[in-house]
Amino acid sequence: MATLPLVVAVTRWIPVAMLGGFFAALVMDLPMSRLEEGTTPSLVAAGVLYDRPPATLQGRQARAVHYTAGILAGVVYAVVALLLDTLLPPVATFAEIPLVPHLLAGLVTGLFLYGFFALYVLPRFGGGKRAVAPTVRRSWALSVAVYVLSLWAFVPLFSLLLA
C-alpha cells in the first residue's frame, strides 16, 4: 500500500476491506448460530439502533445490523492498516498487502469489536442479558476471533480477485 499513492490506496483498499468485512461477518454467523448466547450481540446492538427491546426485534433486523457492522469493521480495519502502513517499514507483502499492517490491523479491529460490545454496549443496553454476561462475552470473543481470521483471509483474496 505504501508504494501506491494515498488516494489510490484508499479508493482500492477500503472497498476491498468492506467486502472482506461483509464476508467475514457471513462466516462469523457459523459460531454465532451455534454458541449459547451467540446471537445476543447482534440482537442487543439492533435493540440499541432500533431503540427497542431486543426481544421485540425480528431476525432480519439483527442480521442487518450484524452485516452492516461487519462492513463498517472492514472500514476500521482498512483505516488502521493504511495508517500502520505509513508508520511501519515494509517487511513482506502478499497480494500487494503489507503483511505486518494487515495482521496488526486485524488484531486492532478484533479488539475494538470485542471491547466496544463487551465493555460498553452489553453493560449499558443488555437488559436481561446482563445476568448471562460472562457467557455472552465468551461467545462474542470466539465469534470475533472467527471474524478476524476470516478478514485476514478475505482481504488478500479479494485484493487478488479485484486487482
pLDDT by residue for the chain (163 residues), tens digit each? 545 556 667 778 899 999 999 999 999 999 999 998 888 899 889 888 888 888 888 889 999 999 999 999 999 999 999 999 889 888 888 877 889 999 999 999 999 999 999 999 888 887 777 788 899 999 999 999 999 999 999 999 998 898 7
Domain ranges of the chain: 6-161
* Nearest residue to 76 via CA among 141, 131, 147, 143: 147
> At which residue does the C-alpha cell 472467527 appear?
146
pLDDT of residue 5: 58
Contacts for 41-45: CB closer than 8 Å, 24+ residues apart: 41/117, 41/121, 41/122, 41/136, 41/139, 41/140, 41/143, 42/66, 42/69, 44/117, 44/121, 44/122, 44/125, 44/126, 44/127, 44/129, 45/69, 45/117, 45/121
pLDDT of residue 8: 63
Q: d(Cα 81, Cα 116) in Å, to the nearest integer?
A: 19
pTM of the model: 0.91
